[in-house]
């Protein structure tokens, strides 16, 4: 099994060196690059970036799941006017209260590269997506990871004072260790409406579908998703989002392959 995870890491590194050729689809649970706004007049290096730090308290009768935290971001390494080269990295820590009050029992890493083309109001991207899941303070000898190659469509629609950021992705799992996924598809919609120059309300919905390898597992296609609503408070250099919602997550624990449902309330700190 160490050879399997070594192969996954090696392929991810190779993809980073071959970005003009390689690409992938993102899990709906993972942050996505936002649809691009007006393209620059000429090619730019490090044209745009988005950063995030988030924490949500989970309401569920399971001591493994008390908090869900994330930090990371994405940036446009190059914007060549007709498209862009985007790099995304995200770390998720899941905390429970089995061993102590704040017990980080999972660490999940995401690395993604996308190469896009703008066509009128829409943007289409080829994407390479790598996920690696780990346990903290628990025994785990097997690697749990997968790579996906796929495509994504992004579009921002403005209607009066309301914006709709819409994304859809689909991809095939090209390499995996200890998971039974063969393809993924997802839809991500964010609706925002400003109330004042410093106060915005929003609704965010994510849905995802996993195809399952019938030779590895008898379970059928799996689906999960998340819906949240909240407010965004804009400061001078950053914005604070306060939200509440509901989530269904497949394989919430990387070992037992069981879906979990929880309500959540949390905050997210982002750059404007």
CATH number of the domain where residue 249 is located: 2.40.160.40
Please, what is the average pLDDT of the chain? Answer: 89
Q: pLDDT band for position 137 (50/70/90)?
A: confident
The residues that bridge with 68 in the sheet, in sequence order, are: 56, 94
CA distance 93 to 53: 11
Whether 86 shows a pLDDT value over 90: the answer reads yes
Q: How many domains does the chain have?
A: 1
More reliable by pLDDT, 207 or 17: 207
Whether 260 shows a pLDDT value over 60: the answer reads yes
- For tokens 């804009």, the residue is 234
Q: How far is CA 222 from CA 172, 178, 184, 200, 212, in A?
A: 15, 16, 10, 34, 7
Which residue from 190, 195, 205, 208 is spatially nearest to 245, judged by alpha carbons?
A: 205
State the residue range of the domain holding 177. Answer: 2-271
- Report pTM: 0.85
């Amino acid at each position: 099994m160490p050879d399997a995870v070594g192969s996954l890491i090696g392929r991810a590194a190779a993809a980073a060196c071959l970005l003009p050729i390689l690409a992938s689809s993102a899990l709906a649970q993972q942050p996505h690059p936002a649809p691009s706004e007006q393209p620059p007049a000429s090619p730019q290096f490090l044209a745009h970036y988005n950063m995030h730090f988030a924490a949500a308290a989970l309401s569920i009768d399971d001591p493994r799941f008390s908090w869900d935290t994330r930090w990371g971001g994405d940036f446009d390494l190059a914007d060549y006017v007709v498209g862009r080269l985007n790099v995304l990295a995200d770390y998720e820590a899941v905390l429970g209260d089995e061993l102590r009050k704040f017990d980080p029992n999972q660490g999940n890493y995401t690395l993604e590269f996308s190469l896009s083309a703008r066509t009128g109001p829409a943007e289409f991207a080829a994407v390479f997506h790598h996920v690696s899941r780990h346990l903290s303070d628990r025994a785990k000898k097997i690697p749990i990871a997968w790579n996906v190659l796929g495509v994504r469509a992004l579009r921002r629609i403005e209607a009066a004072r309301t914006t709709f950021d819409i994304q859809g992705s689909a991809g095939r799992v090209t390499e995996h260790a200890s998971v039974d996924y063969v393809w993924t598809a997802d839809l991500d919609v964010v609706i925002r409406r400003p109330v004042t120059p410093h106060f915005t309300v929003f609704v965010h919905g994510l849905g995802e579908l996993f195809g399952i390898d019938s030779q590895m597992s008898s379970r059928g296609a799996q689906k999960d998703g998340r819906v949240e609503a909240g407010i965004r408070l804009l400061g001078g250099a950053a914005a604070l989002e306060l939200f509440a919602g509901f989530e269904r997550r497949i394989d919430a624990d990387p070992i037992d392959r069981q879906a979990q449902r929880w309500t959540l309330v949390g905050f997210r700190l982002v750059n404007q």
